[in-house]
């Protein structure tokens, strides 16, 4: 039985209704000529000349389109050459570098690019770790701007903090408010559970337990808009790369699509049988979600209005990230880490008890609470919410078919979110005394903080 579902009873899609209905335009009746007209020979010749001119015009348009494509191609190549020239100290064009760049972009579009990064890294020391403190309660999520200049963090106290990445200083704080002040307070009044930022750093989205999504200006931290529509907590947010299309996931088991250019709701996607715990997206018009205790990972194809269903974990799936357009990594309550391909309905690589403690404890003791992937590379990261918590870096083998642990980074507390910087030089973690979803246990010795880990390469390699 195929795992490709389209138009099934479980999958429903609600299209956006226009806010202002268009008025029906009455059809005009065909006007009858008063007298019968007889086409003359001159009329025939005029029609033939018109047809000839139309053919010539279409040929000219086709030629113009070809010239336009050629011009854009030359412009793109010149941009690549300029970028490579800027990287070179001698300001000489490396044709091999440009060709290699083009080849990488083709592989990236196909979802097959896997740069070798993991084997170059060496374990960080304590001097390579920075700790940022500012939230009163456990951190739940974070995002990094595409230029790696700013970090945005949120926590159970309802606050959002904007940090300067280089100086580690707070720039802006949107404090959390009290329940009942939703109409007057500019920020959130309950736990913030999800953050996302657009590729061009124009929009920052935040979602909370109160079922609302706030849209902010990332530079000034002024609120631009508020979306409402979900019936339960917002559990995940993701922008489609290079666009202002926003995906939101919720504990109400639905995914919603929003257009931030028009600040409008687009559609709702159904299929999960339990709370959705995470969502991610890259360049293609699709999103990937983790379905908690329905034990499924799903890929939502927006244009086709269909979904792909994957099964592999034996417990709740709590976190998921795309590695590239065709591969993803997930982690869950069963303590396992899985790598998936969109061509297979089962994981192509699984590591059980990926964070097993020295005493061999399972379940809550090695619950995978966060995963991260350095896009289009072989470097992955996972974190737990156990009492002996640490972050583990992984080397993903050729074809993403194996996972090999590299080294551990000790972190005291529940690792509730992980993200690599776009240049791959740092790994940033949101850490708290509690798991982001609940208060099953509290790690009193842990600090509610951001941990920035500098990733160093071996100079001898």
> Residue 199 CB: number of other CB atoms within 10 A?
16
Whole-angstrom distance, CA of residue 298 vs CA of residue 301: 10
Q: Report pLDDT digits (tens) over 287-322.
A: 999 998 899 999 999 999 899 999 989 889 999 999
The yes-or-no verdict on residue 6 having pLDDT over 70 is no
The yes-or-no verdict on residue 59 having pLDDT over 60 is no
The string of DSSP codes covering 4-17 is EEES-TT--EEEPP
Share of the chain above pLDDT 90, in %: 64
- CB of 49 closer than 8 Å to CB of 57: no
* Phi and psi at residue 178, to the nearest 5°: -85, 155
Average pLDDT, integer, range 12-22: 44
Q: Where does the pLDDT of residue 388 fall: very low under 50, low under 70, confident under 90, or very high at 90 and above?
A: low
The yes-or-no verdict on residue 327 having pLDDT over 60 is yes
* pLDDT for res 84: 59
The yes-or-no verdict on residue 66 having pLDDT over 80 is no
* Phi and psi at residue 456, to the nearest 5°: -110, 145
Q: Report pLDDT digits (tens) over 183-209.
A: 899 999 999 999 999 999 999 999 999
Q: Where does the pLDDT of residue 56 fall: very low under 50, low under 70, confident under 90, or very high at 90 and above?
A: very low
Higher pLDDT, 72 or 8: 72
Q: What pTM did the predictor assign?
A: 0.78
Whole-angstrom distance, CA of residue 252 vs CA of residue 430: 25
Q: Where does the pLDDT of residue 283 fall: very low under 50, low under 70, confident under 90, or very high at 90 and above?
A: very high
Of 382, 377, 379, 455, give the one whose Cα is nearest residue 418: 382
* pLDDT for res 100: 56
* Alpha-carbon distance values, 197 to 212, 213, 215, 280, 411 (Å): 16, 13, 10, 12, 26
The yes-or-no verdict on residue 43 having pLDDT over 70 is no
**200 burial via Cβ count (<10 Å: 0-12, 13-18, 19+):** middle
- CB of 179 closer than 8 Å to CB of 167: no
Q: What is the DSSP letter of 38?
A: -
């Amino acid at each position: 039985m195929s795992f490709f579902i389209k138009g099934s009873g479980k999958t429903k899609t609600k299209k956006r209704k226009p806010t202002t209905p268009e008025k029906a335009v009455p059809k005009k009746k065909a006007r009858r000529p008063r007298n019968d007209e007889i086409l003359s020979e001159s009329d025939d010749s005029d029609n033939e000349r018109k047809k000839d001119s139309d053919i010539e015009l279409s040929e000219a348009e086709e030629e113009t389109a070809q010239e336009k494509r050629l011009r854009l191609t030359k412009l793109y190549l010149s941009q690549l050459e300029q970028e490579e020239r800027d990287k070179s100290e001698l300001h000489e064009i490396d044709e091999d570098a440009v060709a290699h760049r083009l080849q990488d972009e083709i592989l990236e579009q196909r979802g097959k690019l896997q740069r070798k990064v993991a084997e170059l890294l060496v374990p960080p020391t304590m001097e390579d770790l920075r700790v940022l403190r500012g939230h009163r309660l456990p951190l739940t999520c974070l995002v990094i701007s595409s230029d790696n200049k700013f970090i945005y963090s949120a926590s159970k106290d309802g606050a959002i903090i904007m940090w300067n990445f280089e100086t580690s200083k707070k720039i802006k704080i949107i404090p959390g408010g009290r329940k009942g002040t939703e109409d007057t307070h500019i920020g959130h009044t309950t736990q913030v559970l999800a953050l996302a930022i657009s590729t061009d750093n124009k929009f920052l989205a935040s979602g909370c337990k109160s079922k609302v999504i706030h849209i902010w200006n990332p530079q000034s931290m002024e609120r631009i808009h508020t979306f409402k529509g979900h019936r339960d907590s917002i559990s995940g947010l993701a922008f489609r790369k290079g666009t202002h299309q926003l995906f939101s996931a919720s504990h109400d088991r639905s995914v919603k699509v929003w257009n931030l250019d028009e600040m409008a709701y687009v559609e709702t996607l159904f299929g999960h049988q339990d709370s959705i715990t995470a969502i991610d997206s890259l360049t293609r018009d699709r999103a990937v979600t983790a379905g908690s205790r329905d034990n499924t990972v799903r890929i939502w194809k927006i244009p086709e209005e269909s979904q792909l269903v994957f099964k592999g974990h034996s417990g709740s799936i709590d976190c998921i990230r795309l590695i590239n357009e065709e591969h993803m990594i997930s982690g869950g309550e069963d303590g396992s880490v899985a790598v998936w391909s969109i061509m297979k309905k089962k994981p192509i690589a699984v590591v059980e008890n990926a964070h097993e403690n020295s005493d061999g404890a399972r379940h809550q003791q090695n619950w995978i609470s966060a995963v991260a992937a350095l896009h289009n590379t072989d470097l992955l990261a996972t974190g737990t919410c156990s009492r002996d918590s640490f972050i583990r870096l992984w080397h993903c083998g050729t074809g993403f078919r194996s996972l090999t642990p590299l080294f551990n980074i000790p972190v005291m507390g529940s690792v509730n979110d992980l993200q690599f910087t776009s240049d791959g030089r740092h790994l940033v973690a949101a850490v708290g005394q509690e798991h982001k979803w609940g208060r099953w246990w509290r790690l009193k010795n842990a600090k509610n903080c951001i941990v920035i880990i500098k990733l160093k390469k071996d100079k001898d390699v």
